[in-house]
Structures are given as C-alpha cells and as structure tokens.
Amino acid sequence: MSSDADGARDLTAPGDLGFALDDIDRDEAIAEGLSVVYGESRARFLGKLAFGGAALIAGLASPPALAAGPEQDVSTLNFDLVFEFLQSSFYLGAVRDGTVAAMRPEKERWARVLGAHELAHVTILKSVLGTKAAAKPFFNFRGITEDEAAFTRTAVAMEDLTVALLAGQAPRFHDRKLTAAVFSLLTTEARHAAWARRIAGVVPVANAFDEPKTLAEVDRVVRRTRFVASRPRTRSRRNPELTG
C-alpha cells in the first residue's frame, strides 16, 4: 500500500489505485462476510478482516459474538479504515478520471484536499492497527467518478455518512483514548461534509444534532451503492474435485 503514502503527497500521481474493473459476485461476498461474523471465532473473524474483499462487509454487522473489549475496538477501527479506503479511492478515482481537473478552481481544491485527508486517515489508521489492519477492498464506482454532478452528490452523501458512522462509534470504544482520537477524525469529516454541501449548494449544517448510525445501518447504505466488489478469484470454488 505504499501507493497511499505517495498519493498523499501528490494526488495526480499515476499508479496502482487498487480498483476492480468489474463487479464480482457481490452477493456472495456479503454471504461470506455474514458467515464470518456469525459463524466463526473472533480470531478467524479478525483474520478474515485482514484478508481483503469482504472486509467492509465483515466489519459491519455489529457482531453479537464479540465480547466487549479491545478486540471490538480493533474491529471498529478496521471498519473505519475500510470506510476511509472507500473514500480515498473515490476521490482518487475522480482525479484519475480527469473529473477533478475539469472542475472550477475552488471545487477542484475541495476535491483534492478531501482526497488527501482521506488518504492521511488511511495511513493513520493503518499505522495504529499495525498487523491487524484490514486489507484494502476492491471498489467499483460504476462511472460516478467520471461525472462531476454524480460525483458531487455522492461525495455529499458519503461525507454525511462518515459523520454518522463516527458520531455513532466514537462513544463506543472501550479505550477512552480512542474515543478522544476519533473525535479528531469526526470533526474533520464533519468539515468535509459541510464543505461538500456548500459546494453542492445545500445548507452545510442541516440540524443542531447530527444523527448517528450503527454499523449495520451504514452497512446497508454501502451495500446499496454496490461500490465494494469482492476480491477477484484466482480459482473457482466450483472446480471439480480431482481426487477420489
């Protein structure tokens, strides 16, 4: 993932952005993720989280089997990490597609700053999670990063969703220092949301209180976007058994 750090310095730098070119069997990825959450041990759950494609899906459903404790903090941080991957890939995708360069200067600045911040968040969360950090999933934005109007609408929705996610999760960490630290990310995402809404011509602050969302609620929204593609398979599961 060294491309992330490089990208943070220069969002226009070409490189491997980790996109899937097509959407691969989304529903099976979800099924796999849910079986991970409900049917396997915590250790395997975290192992799967670090394994890729289904990371976002696996992180989402509030897993009832997980005891309260640092492991839950890790899975919550990993969910946040995958969400930051989603956002940074989204902005980088729009840069790569030339959509950002075609914007008026003030708007171009907005898109580039947000992309750089989301990359910084990825770097921060990865460094904190160390070996437990989830791998970057594959994303497919279905042409949205090529269309300025669709990109802007989606950016507004995505930033508001991030605020709802972090406002819901910040109080739930067992480690108070994580709560304190995530508030620093929450306010940055809230600024992004307000900035995006202003750019889009929507009132930047809709209510006196932001409405938090649970991981499961955020999961449902992300699933509807179909932005997360599962890892492309190198080997089909349906290959006939050659033994016996």
- For other proteins, the binding residues (CB under 8 A) are 70-71, 73-74, 77, 113-114, 116-117, 120-121, 123-125, 127-132, 163, 166-168, 170-171, 173, 175-195, 198, 203-205, 207-212
At 139, give phi and psi (nearest 5°).
-120, 150
Q: Which is nearer to other proteins, 64 or 130 (CB)?
A: 130
Distance of alpha carbon 111 from alpha carbon 99, whole angstroms: 10
> How is residue 7 written in tokens?
């990208």
Beta bridge partners of 228: 139
CB of 213 to other proteins, least distance (A): 11
For the bound state, the minimum distance from the C-beta of residue 43 to other proteins, rounded and expressed in Å, comes to: 13
Cβ proximity to other proteins, 132 vs 153, nearer residue: 132
Q: Select 169 or 230, whichever has its Cβ closest to other proteins.
A: 169
Alpha helices in 10-69 (DSSP H): 26-39, 42-49, 55-60
Judged by DSSP in three states, 228 sits in: strand
Contact 138, 227 (CB under 8 A): no
- In the complex, least distance from residue 152 CB atom to other proteins, rounded to whole angstroms: 15
Of 40 and 210, CB closest to other proteins: 210
When the beta carbons of 7 and 53 are compared against other proteins, the nearer one is 7
Region of residue 22 (phi > 0: left; psi between -120 and 50: alpha; otherwise: beta): beta
> Residue 27's Cα: distance from chain center in Å?
18
Smallest distance from other proteins to CB 159, Å: 10
Cβ 142 to other proteins shortest distance, Å: 27
